[in-house]
């Protein structure tokens, strides 16, 4: 191993060391605070508390070493940002669910995701194979949610969100359909995009409208995925799927074609909305979420099958919104202190409402910092896409889709937590507890770092991703 190897990725190494120090400090503070609240010895829980951050730190160190071995100096910001977001999420999960919750997050999501990440980084050509196998991969990704809609495990709300295959743990296939749509659209736009733009006809002067046949495959894929998610009662994933579909079309086609298509799409959506308003009975869970969004403190009675349940909106679906709002207000600017808030009163604080738990104990300052971190990560992804050679259309669209995926998840979940939009139950990347979601997000970052290596291969002019 030459000495020159140790001159690569020094910025990333320093940032990861900083993230590791924050993670260890956070776990120590959380463990000590919980011991103090239980009137126990503050240092007694430290050995068990240090194990999760050390395990995660070693994993990130190995990923960093792999990138050094690849002798690449580009994109040294993305991994530390992911590490810091994951550290914040793990600290809060540990604070809410103890060591078992932290280890569950590591074992079910982080470690498998890191393995996929390492595989893609070590073998960047796997992305090219992904393009060759886009159709079968996408069809499998579409078939799994359809199977879940029919044979999935029914939870206490009546939704089918997970698929159980033999002795394997149940998996949430809604995360897979998002990745499948992303891959399919990137492949299809690369394959048919130029033909669609070249054969587009002028409409209303400046606008151009391509033939409808070019949009049938993508629209059909998205429609089938949406129907499966509706049958599963996973309406949050439907919003993410719609965001991916619209964002990928915008990224893949020139503006005047996109505007014409978008205008037609809006018209068809409005027509569909009118038809559904008279023919489709809105699922009960959606009605409750909308009522809770309008007024979480409403004393209106909830009805089931036309009969009163004895539970009001404020006692039922509005309760979690109330608690999230109370937690946000209680946290103020700087928070009540790690381990000294009351996020346990928030239902699903470790998953759906983890942002509210963070706001209560760490304050609005930390909440804003988290949003800045996500913005930085998304911008780095888009930057990598812009620096790729213009001929790598599939790869560029893939990166754009990944950035859109992160943005829509954060937008939908943070908006729901602050009651700026109806709650949907989507996880926040790297923060919320969720095995399959974290695995997919880690794999997406792996694709970003794998494709970033092509930027450096273009020569010194493109080496803007970080210094050595």
Paired tokens of 381: 């992804």
Per-residue pLDDT, 128: 82
- Nearest in space to 362 (alpha carbons), one of 103, 87, 46: 87
- Nearest in space to 196 (alpha carbons), one of 169, 214, 177: 214
**206 CB burial (10 A radius; 0-12, 13-18, 19+):** exposed
User: Is-contact 236 425, C-beta < 8 A?
Assistant: yes
Say if 314 falls within a structural domain: no
Per-residue pLDDT, 83: 95
247 with 193, same domain? Answer: yes
Domain count, the chain: 2
Q: What is the pLDDT of residues 10-41, one digit of tens each?
A: 899 999 999 999 999 999 988 888 888 777 77
CB atoms within 10 A of CB 418: 16
| Alpha-carbon distances of 294 from 167, 186, 384, rounded to whole Å | 43, 38, 41
Say if 322 falls within a structural domain: no
142 with 88, same domain? Answer: no
Q: What percent of the chain has pLDDT over 70?
A: 88
Please identify, among 98, 122, 146, the residue that sits at the C-terminal boundary of a domain.
122
262 with 229, same domain? Answer: yes
67 with 191, same domain? Answer: no
108 with 254, same domain? Answer: no
166 with 68, same domain? Answer: no
pTM, two decimal places: 0.88
Q: What is the pLDDT of residues 198-228, one digit of tens each?
A: 666 776 666 777 777 777 787 888 888 888 8
According to DSSP, the β-strands at 153-154 and 160-162 are antiparallel
111 with 136, same domain? Answer: no
Say if 91 falls within a structural domain: yes
pLDDT higher for 217 or 121? 121
Provide mean pLDDT across the span 357-376.
Answer: 94
Please identify, among 122, 153, 170, the residue that sits at the C-terminal boundary of a domain.
122
138 with 260, same domain? Answer: yes
Say if 162 falls within a structural domain: yes
User: Is-contact 92 354, C-beta < 8 A?
Assistant: yes
Q: What is the pLDDT of residues 74-106, one digit of tens each?
A: 889 999 999 999 999 999 999 998 889 999 999
Say if 449 falls within a structural domain: no
pLDDT band at residue 447 using 50, 70 and 90 as cut-offs:
very high
CB atoms within 10 A of CB 232: 25
The C-alpha angle with vertex 97 and arms to 91 and 101, in degrees rounded to 5, equals 75
Instruction: Report the C-alpha gap between 185 and 396 in whole angstroms.
Output: 12
Asked whether the predicted pLDDT for residue 157 surpasses 50, the reply is yes
pLDDT band at residue 286 using 50, 70 and 90 as cut-offs:
confident
What range does the domain containing 47 cover?
Answer: 3-122
Instruction: Report the C-alpha gap between 79 and 449 in whole angstroms.
Output: 9
Please identify, among 70, 103, 122, the residue that sits at the C-terminal boundary of a domain.
122
Per-residue pLDDT, 467: 35
Per-residue pLDDT, 84: 96
Say if 415 falls within a structural domain: yes
215 with 359, same domain? Answer: yes
- Nearest in space to 310 (alpha carbons), one of 298, 301, 299, 300: 301
258 with 401, same domain? Answer: yes
Show Cβ contacts of residue 420 under 8 Å, excluding neighbours closer than 6 positions.
none
202 with 246, same domain? Answer: yes
- Measure CA of the first residue to CA of the last residue in the chain; give whole Å: 17
| Contacts of the segment 386-395: beta carbons below 8 A, 24+ positions apart | 387/455, 387/458, 387/462, 387/464, 387/465, 388/451, 388/454, 388/455, 389/454, 389/458, 392/454, 393/189, 393/190, 393/193, 394/131, 394/186, 394/187, 394/190, 395/127, 395/131, 395/451, 395/454
285 with 197, same domain? Answer: yes
Instruction: Report the C-alpha gap between 51 and 389 in whole angstroms.
Output: 43
């Amino acid at each position: 191993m030459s000495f020159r190897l140790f001159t690569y990725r020094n910025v990333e190494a320093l940032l990861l060391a900083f993230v590791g120090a924050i993670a260890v400090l956070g776990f120590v503070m959380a463990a000590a605070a919980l011991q103090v609240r239980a009137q126990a010895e503050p240092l007694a829980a430290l050995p068990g508390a240090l194990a999760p951050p050390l395990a995660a730190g070693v994993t990130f160190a190995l990923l960093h070493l792999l990138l050094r071995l690849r002798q690449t100096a580009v994109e040294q910001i993305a991994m530390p940002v992911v590490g810091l977001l994951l550290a914040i999420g793990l600290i809060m999960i540990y604070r809410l669910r103890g060591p078992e919750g932290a280890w569950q997050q590591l074992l079910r999501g982080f470690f498998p995701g890191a393995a996929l990440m390492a595989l893609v980084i070590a073998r960047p050509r796997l992305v090219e194979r992904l393009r060759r196998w886009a159709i079968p991969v996408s069809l499998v990704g579409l078939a799994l949610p359809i199977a879940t809609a029919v044979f999935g495990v029914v939870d206490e709300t009546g939704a089918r969100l997970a698929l159980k295959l033999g002795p394997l743990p149940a998996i949430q296939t809604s995360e897979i359909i998002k990745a499948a749509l992303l891959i399919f659209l990137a492949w299809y736009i690369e394959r048919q995009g130029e033909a669609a733009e070249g054969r587009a006809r002028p409409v209303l002067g400046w606008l151009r409208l391509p033939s409808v046949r070019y949009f049938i495959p993508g629209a059909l894929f998205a429609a089938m995925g949406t129907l499966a998610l509706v049958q599963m009662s996973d309406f949050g994933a439907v919003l993410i799927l719609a965001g991916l579909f619209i964002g990928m079309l915008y990224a893949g086609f020139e503006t005047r074609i996109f505007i014409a298509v978008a205008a037609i799409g809006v018209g068809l959506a409005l027509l569909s909305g009118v038809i559904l308003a008279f023919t489709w009975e809105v699922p009960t869970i959606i009605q409750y979420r909308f009522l809770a969004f309008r007024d979480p403190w409403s004393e209106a009675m909830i009805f089931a099958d036309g009969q009163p349940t004895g539970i009001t909106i404020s006692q039922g679906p509005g309760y979690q919104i109330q608690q999230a709002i109370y937690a946000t207000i209680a946290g103020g600017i700087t928070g009540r202190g790690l381990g000294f808030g009351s996020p346990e009163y928030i239902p699903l604080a470790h998953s759906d409402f983890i942002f509210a738990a963070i706001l209560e104990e760490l304050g609005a300052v930390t909440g804003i910092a988290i949003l800045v971190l996500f913005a930085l990560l998304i911008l780095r992804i888009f930057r990598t896409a812009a620096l790729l050679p213009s001929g790598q259309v599939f790869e560029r669209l893939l990166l754009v889709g990944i950035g859109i995926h992160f943005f829509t998840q954060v937008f939908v979940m943070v908006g729901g937590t602050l009651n700026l939009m109806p709650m949907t139950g989507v996880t926040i990347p790297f923060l919320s507890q969720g095995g399959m979601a974290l695995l997919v997000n880690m794999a997406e970052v792996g694709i970003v770092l794998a494709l970033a290596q092509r930027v450096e291969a273009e020569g010194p002019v493109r080496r803007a991703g970080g210094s050595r």
